Amino acid sequence: MSELVLLLISTALVNNVVLIKFLGLCPAMGVSKSMDSALGMGMATTFVLTLASAASWSLEHWLLVPMELQFLRILTFILVIASVVQFTEMFIKKASPGLYQSLGIYLPLITTNCAVLGVALLNVQQGYGFFWSVAYGFGSALGFTLVLMIFAGLRERIALARVPGAFTGAPIAFVTISLLALAFMGFSGLNV
């Protein structure tokens, strides 16, 4: 149990996908304008990442390795991820049209979200068992959601600030996320 907690802390905070591994920057910049859509995006990504972790582990161990098709890894992973994303999109469209609208183009783009593919590939490299792979994927997604929420909160505040003209929009968002990354460096070397 405690090991599971430690794995989650390690993946979510110490090796945060966005701030430490620099994966998934596209949605982190794109869907962080309001906390509500950030939460929606985070949950959608969590769903996809967890499912994709499970699916990619299964593919790796039951299909690619036995048939010595590791060179197809990226291809198959993309295929699976794309399908999961499609499914998520259909589901969200049905369940929450408002969220569907606010996520916009970034929802189908989870397919090409490098965090998803990146975590799936890293996951395989770690050589975890099935359960730990899923936990790894879930923990990474948790970290992604956390950063997205925090960042969205900050951006909501900055949206009301009188930022100098040269820094409005993306520049101030980059400054903010870099300072956030600075703060997260405090977790580096966390001995867990």
Summarize as ranges the residues that interact with another protein (CB under 8 A). Answer: 35, 59, 63, 67, 69, 72, 75-76, 79-80, 83, 86-87, 90-91, 93-94, 97, 101-102, 104, 149-150, 153-154, 156-164, 167, 171-172, 175-176, 179-180, 182-192
Tell the smallest beta-carbon distance from residue 190 to another protein (Å). 5
Q: Decide whether 4 or 192 has the Cβ nearer to another protein.
A: 192
- With a CB cutoff of 8 Å and minimum separation 6, the contacts of 111 are 78, 81, 82, 85
Give the orientation angle of helix 35-59 with respect to helix 130-159, to 10 degrees.
Answer: 160
Tell the smallest beta-carbon distance from residue 115 to another protein (Å). 19
Amino acid identity of 76?
Answer: T
Tell the smallest beta-carbon distance from residue 144 to another protein (Å). 15
Helix, strand, coil: what percent of the chain each, to 5? 80, 0, 20
Q: Distance between CA atoms of 14 and 186, rounded to whole angstroms?
A: 9
Q: Decide whether 114 or 158 has the Cβ nearer to another protein.
A: 158
Q: Decide whether 29 or 163 has the Cβ nearer to another protein.
A: 163
